[in-house]
Chain A
Amino acid sequence: MTTHAADTTPMGFGSMRRKEDARFLRGKGRYLDDIVLPGMLHAAILRSPHAHARIVSVDTSAAEAHPKVTAVITGETLTGLGLAWMPTLSHDVQAVLATDKVRFQGQEVAFVVAEDRYAARDALALIEVEYEPLPAVVDATRALDPDAPVIRDDLHKTDNHIFDWEAGDAAATDEVFATADVVAECDLLYPRCHPAPMETCGSIASMDPVSGKLTVYTTTQAPHAHRTVYALVAGIPEHKIQVIAPDIGGGFGNKVGIYPGYVCAVVGSIVTGRPVKWVEDRSENLMSTSFARDYHMHGEIAATKDGTLLGVRVKVLADHGAFNNTAQPSKMPAGLFHVFSGSYDLKAAHCAVTGVYTDKCPGGVAYACSFRITEAVYLIERLVDVLARDQGWDPAELRMRNLVRPEQFPYRTALGWEYDSGNYPQTLRKALDLAGYAELRREQAERRARGELMGIGVSFFTEAVGAGPRKHMDILGLGMADGAELRVHPTGKAVLRLSCMTQGQGHQTTFAQIVAEELGISPDDIEVVQGDTDQTPFGLGTYGSRSTPVSGAATAMVARKVRERARIVASAMLEVAPSDLEFAKGRFHVKGDPAASATMAEIAMAAHSDLELPEGVEGHLDATCVYNPPNLTYPCGAYVCVVDVDPGTGQVAVRRFVAVDDCGVRINPMIVEGQIHGGLADGIGMALMEVLAFDADGNHLGASFMDYLLPTALECPSWELGETVTPSPHHPIGAKGVGESATVGSPPAVVNAVLDAIGVRDADMPLTPAQVWRSMQGRPLRTDVAVT
């Protein structure tokens, strides 16, 4: 099923074409690199060729002598300004430009500012850096060896340990395992992968020497958080900083954090007195910006002999790279990983996560992963399949019998989360029916008899999105709540200002539709403003599928405030008490007298007019709101993937993919499905081809799109979508986030299908032809290192 937009704009929810697409499809989007400021200079970054090396000397004299070079900034320059190091999002520091050592290949060493980008790039070759190479820590599983080189001597550390963190009840879980009839265990690597947005990261910093105001145009999903960080890091007063995010060509978490190049651009503008643009190239994006995943997991699952799941136990080794810069709620060093009990009614669960430093790029930010729920869902959905295989149970049936039941909601998990709503069996049943599961199993048996390898993979996921509430969730002390501001102009057209920032999700349409639903103003008449800190209220931005759950709620609430104000204005217009008025989309009318009414446009004009308003009521029609979510929302979904594997080559063809998503109320079903399509493609990418591997010296083996493969339309089947709708009970419009659902839920479905086809218990992603063939031989590859 694919939903198409209606030709007429709905007055509220419903499929409509995306308002932003008129400019995107015509190539008229305005991205960072389209911006040209008068007198603007261009910058390039010199990066480390080594994964781990001491810096002996940096000689910039030849580069400075280049006729077009205006400034060369090094770690030493920044040390003088107190800016050589910056805080990370996880209580660590990260080098802006290396001073003592380089700690990953591609680390920033020097920043050249020149008249054009060619000259800036040419001058990099003129900088002489003498390195004293050190042994690199590449294999996370060896990072804690006693003889492992110490990466963070700047912190006076004596090992590469970052943190230990636990969740769940260890004793209760051990108890469950001790008495269980059957236990299955499995090592699972969720390899390091990259968000790889089409537009790379970049920034233009412009310090106005007259006003002392810093304007930063930048590719950011979280403009307000960036502004505060610049204020804290650079000591510039926050009211003198304006962060502007223009159109963003994909983010996927890659554009949450602040990168060294951004800070350098600010310094460059201060030093030269001119705007400085820095835009990274593709290799820089793949080598130095936030990666995702990199979880080495050992999972165990316990069950009774009749197939009732009892508990899950997991140990994780988390590779955080050279600086701990993972982005997640500060109090949760493994993000929301502890939703790994998944969609099942378990007695007990426990995880122990250890974070380690390696000589790899820092990051680990939410890449379409809802703060590590991707890893959690992969873990539980693989474990369930491994158990089913060991016991000869049908994986779909095993899931069905253990799903949390509808009457158990709100459901408190063994790990302490309160799932808000869902009808899991209904969702799974729908997916199995759409897929024709029983028929597929019959076909599979027939094909097997002919020596053909067909696989069927099932996954069921529960997402947890819409972070806060603020008391549990913050980043750098900033609580995860978001603002909205709505103004209805005298003629009844409106402007909505939001703290979140679209990167392609269609915010300009979806959020206008929420206002339309509440006020009856056409979405075409509502301008959605975002991405400019001088024009929008504070909030933490767009990641972790939080825009609809948080900013969407803020939008509904602010629209309701405006509606209540409109009621008072209408009561003055119609000369009745406010309580005598009824709202029907777009107008208030007197109860029992539909003819006595005022439209929103009439009310808006009256609110700005000479109409006498009741005592204490201000004029105009506007409101602001800050939404602090009471809980996360918990979307869910059931996925069925069908693959065919070529037994002679190990090539996988995804024949079918059925996805039934429940994200609560769908505001714009077409946009929702678009988000799901993208996430499913992403899941195929991660399951079958995407990985950032490193060789023994720490060389990055995925630094171009020839090496880091993204899926294309040719690897994607025609998606078969379905839906169930269980509204979130605590969300003003019952909506749940959906941006990352499919990315979270699809990789295990694909992996389960491939392993089902080849009859192998476990093998790590990506399941490239080589990995599939080697797994069939009983010799799977380790996918995070160089293939030998």
Chain B
Amino acid sequence: MQVPAQFEYERATSVDHAVALLQRYGPESRLLAGGHSLIPMMKLRIANPETLIDINGLDELGTIRLDRDEHGAQLCLGALVRHAELLASAVAGEHFPMFHDAERVIADPVVRNRGTIGGSLCQADPNEDLSAVFTALRAVAVVQGPDGRRLVPVREFHVGPYQTVVEDSEILVEVRVPVRPGGGSAYTKVERRAGDWAVAAAGAALWLDGGRVAEVGLGLTAVGADRFGAPRAEEFLRGAPATEESFAEAGRIAAEHCRPVADQRGPEDYKRHLAGELTVRSLRRAAARARGLEA
């Protein structure tokens, strides 16, 4: 049995309380959400926080809801929404089927029952799936700290592997995804085995205007894409005909601009190939969904 080093434990009773605890215990403290990244690292003694601040009691961070205001509708996902809850959410699946595509292949049911979307984003693992999904969807993160709340586009959320803009005394509370009609989305992942992290994965969200691409969002993971994005491929697609040829070219561009690193999941050339191949597959499926040809 792997055993972690000693640590103090605190249980937050509100978001404000969590922030106060973070301030009190300082940079050697860590928030504990699902614990499926943090606790394995503690057991391996890669992470040795002095204090864990458990936010699992903060029910207000566990909801999924559709919000409508003057700017339109947005899907609001609390930071403590579990992978399994997102997978089961009809409203999330209805607007963005790529959530369900991705959640079906994130880890295994045991991990999905505990792991949270906030923990996933904040862990900022370069092979993480939801970061690519939220990047494709141009989601916005809501971060709360001692000075109140701030909004950070997910495309500016990550500052490097395992690093985000969330400060030591801040907490991610919510992720908001703008909802616009006429779109389709899809997520495709290659893994060595069910439950494994991605060898590579790509997500695409596509809005059509007749035969053309009105708007598009792409997200790539595990292939060294800058902030999980493929902006050049998006640029190429915007306004282009929504055809196989366009998707193939977008895939080529996405592959060209990522920087995969070889590891036991695969060599660099294979991952680069997948970046393109999976981008194409997700675009194809997203388009079919946008056209109502596929669920």
List the interface of chain A (C-beta within 8 A of B).
Answer: 33, 117-118, 121-122, 279, 281-283, 648-651, 688-689, 693, 701-702, 704, 706-707, 709, 711-712, 714-715, 768-770, 773-774, 781, 786-788
Contact = CB atoms under 8 A, between A and B. Distances in A.
Interface stretch (B12-20, B26-34, B211-219, B261-269): B261-269
A786 B264 contact: yes
B114 interface: no
B270 A283 contact: no
Nearest to B196: A709
Given A33-B1, A769-B270, 20 more contacts: A117-B1, A279-B1, A281-B2, A649-B277, A651-B190, A689-B193, A704-B44, A707-B264, A709-B193, A712-B193, A714-B195, A768-B266, A769-B190, A770-B265, A770-B266, A770-B267, A770-B270, A773-B270, A787-B266, A788-B262
Nearest to B108: A712
Select the residue from B2, B3, B193 with max chain A CB neighbours within 10 A: B193
Interface string B184-217: 0000001011111101000000000000000000
Contacts of A706: 196-197
A314 B102 CA distance: 47
Nearest to A769: B190
B273 A714 contact: no
Interface of B: 1-3, 5-6, 44, 108, 190, 192-197, 199, 262-267, 270, 273-274, 277-278, 281
A122 B267 contact: no
Nearest to A711: B193
Given A117-B3, A118-B6, A281-B1, A715 B264 contact: no
Interface of B: prevailing SS:
loop
B199 A770 contact: yes
A787 B260 CA distance: 13
Nearest to B197: A706
12 contacts: A122-B6, A281-B2, A283-B44, A689-B192, A768-B265, A769-B199, A769-B266, A770-B270, A786-B262, A787-B262, A787-B265, A788-B267
B7 to A, nearest CB: 11
Nearest to B267: A787
Contact of B274 (A283, A649, A709): A649
A633 to B, nearest CB: 34
B194 A283 contact: no
Contacts of B197: 706
A283 B273 contact: no
A121 B3 contact: yes
A781 B267 contact: yes
A774 B267 contact: yes
**A-B CB proximity, top 5 nearest:** A770-B266, A714-B194, A281-B2, A770-B270, A648-B277
Contacts of A118: 3, 6
Contacts of A281: 1-2
Contacts of A781: 267
A286 to B, nearest CB: 12
A712 B195 contact: yes
Nearest to A279: B1
A176 B158 CA distance: 66
Contacts of B199: 769-770
Contact of A122 (B5, B108, B270, B274): B5
Given A122-B5, A122-B6, A787-B266, A715 B273 contact: no
Contacts of A282: 2
Contacts of B281: 648
Contacts of B194: 712, 714-715
Contacts of B273: 773
A704 B270 CA distance: 24
Contacts of A707: 264
Given A787-B264, A787-B266, A788-B262, A769 B192 contact: yes
A121 B270 CA distance: 40
Contact of B193 (A33, A283, A650, A715): A715
Contacts of A712: 108, 193-195
Contacts of B5: 121-122
A163 B72 CA distance: 76
Contacts of B195: 712, 714
A592 B44 CA distance: 74
Nearest to A33: B1
Contact of A283 (B2, B6, B108, B266): B2
Select the residue from B3, B6, B44, B194 with max chain A CB neighbours within 10 A: B3
